[in-house]
Amino acid sequence: MVSPISVARPRTDSHPEASATGRSVGPVFRPVPADAPDAIDIRGVTFRYGEQVILDDVDFQVGAREIVGLIGPNGGGKSTLLKLILGLHKPAAGCVRVLGRTPKAAARHIGYVPQFANFVKRFPIRVEDVVLMGRQGRRRQWGPWPRADREAIGAVLEEVGISHLRRRHIDALSGGQLQRVLIARALAAEPQLLLLDEPTASVDSDGERSLFELFNRLANRMSVVVISHDLGFISDYVDRVACLNRKMIVHDTETLTAESIERLYGENVQMIHHHH
């Protein structure tokens, strides 16, 4: 018999006023309008670096307030797919729509947490300065940050659990703390769609669980796509798992099994390690 990896996808922070969709009520819960566009609608997308086909006729949809895990072997094209959603790459064929618009038009409503290895720590700046950077796209004038922005990031720091680090310089942070700072920076933009590229790569397993709980909570008010190599965690906290290895296969987590993953990739995704 084939055993499912997980069937439990509880929403954290559940509340008696949970909506008809079964979603729990988060801090700034608003019902999903019936006509809300998909957060991501990718159809027939092909992308190449030179001659190398990285994405081959990929379809991928993510609904409003859905949380989707994106898995697949190293080099399978996961980061490339996020870059297409961000409008940093253009497809050779097919169509990418984000929040009902072109990626470029949607960009300021997308929060992006890049792979940790890409972040240079040696800037002489504090946590709050990094997080305030996330407000830049909403800014109307230069000069000191208005009080409203400082208050907004106070709420974000609290939500991400790093209020106590607000005045700390970033080169004094642990990997897990810095990861939370980057998540807070993305949330400071008040995104409708949050993209996270391996946000738990440098975090221990307690930290990883608490980050996945946070992502699950955030999906009460935004759509979330999280890349991870850790199937055990991911399947506990997401609505669906999408498997990408040049081609895309999307599962409901209730039908995803270790055997089906192995069949698709010829190996256990949990055993794939990152080499950055």
Q: From 15-23, 35-43, 77-85, 254-262, give the range in contact with ligand ATP by CB under 6 A.
A: 77-85
- By beta-carbon proximity to ligand ATP, the closer residue of 31 and 75 is 75
Q: Which residues inside 55-74 make contact with ligand ATP, applying CB under 6 A?
A: 72, 74
Q: Establish if 78 lies at the interface with ligand ATP (CB under 6 A).
A: yes
Report, in Å, the least distance between residue 54 CB and ligand ATP.
Answer: 5
Do 43 and 60 meet the contact criterion of CB atoms below 8 Å apart?
no
Residues 6 or more apart in contact with residue 254 via CB below 8 angstroms: 4, 7
Taking each helix axis from N to C end, the angle separating 147-160 and 175-188, rounded to the nearest 10 degrees, works out to 130
Burial 39-69 (b: 16+ CB within 10 A, else e): bbbbeebebeeeeeebbbebebbbbbbbbbb
Q: Which of residues 14-53 bind ligand ATP (CB under 6 A)?
A: 49
CA distances to 72, 96, 140, 197 from 57, in Å: 16, 12, 40, 22
Rank residues 131 and 224 by Cβ distance to ligand ATP and give the closer one: 224
Give the nearest distance from C-beta 73 to ligand ATP in angstroms: 7
Question: How many residues bind ligand ATP, per CB under 6 A?
Answer: 10
205-218 vs 175-188: helix crossing angle, rounded to 10:
10
Closest distance between ligand ATP and the C-beta of residue 34, in Å? 34
If the CB atoms of residues 115 and 216 are measured against ligand ATP, the closer one turns out to be 115
Smallest distance, ligand ATP to C-beta of residue 50, A = 7
Q: Which is nearer to ligand ATP, 74 or 174 (CB)?
A: 74
Alpha carbon distance 35, 208 (integer Å): 34
Nearest-approach distance from CB 175 to ligand ATP, in angstroms: 17
114 binds ligand ATP (CB under 6 A): no
Rule CB under 6 A: is residue 54 a binding residue for ligand ATP? Answer: yes
CB of 272 to ligand ATP, least distance (A): 8
Contact 32, 66 (CB under 8 A): no
CA–CA separation, 107 and 97 (whole Å)? 11
- Rounded Cα–Cα distance for residues 47 and 56 (Å): 7
How far is the CA of 130 from the CAs of 136, 143, 169, 232, in angstroms? 11, 16, 10, 31
Which residues of this protein are in contact with ligand ATP, per CB under 6 A?
A: 49, 54, 72, 74-80
